[in-house]
Amino acid sequence: MKMRRFLSAFVFLCISIHSFSTFAQSDVIDQVKETIKAGSAKELTKYLNQTVDVTLDGSVQSYSKAQAEFVFRDFFKQHPPSEFSIIHQGSSKGGQPFAIGQFKSGSETYRVFMKIKVINNQQLVHEISFAKE
């Protein structure tokens, strides 16, 4: 009887932890989605790791949060968002969350790929890529 109660409690705990991590993952992705939709580089940096790998038009650079803000400010100025949506999100086999989105600016469409890392119990964007389709 005690073993059955223990197993029930253990299963409930595992489901709760999984649900919370999925919720947290969705939450950071939803926040990033809204900032990209708004074209707000300043708000976007709130969700970036201290250093972030940014790919724009095939060029990969590693930036500090402050540098990334300027890079995204210029990008959004040149390519004002008309639409942004998340097409797919999930986790790699190693458990690293990611999201794939579609960014539209005028007649241009970009595929957006984001990798999320947990740093000090906070999910932050570690890598973000805008590739023209």
Q: Give per-10-residue mean pLDDT for the chain (133 aa).
A: 49 42 62 96 96 94 97 97 96 92 97 94 95 95
Residue 51 and residue 21: Cα distance in Å, rounded?
23
Which uninterrupted H or E stretch holds 16? helix 2-38
pTM of the model: 0.79
8 A C-beta contact, residue 103 and residue 81: yes
The pair of structure tokens assigned to 43 is: 């708000």
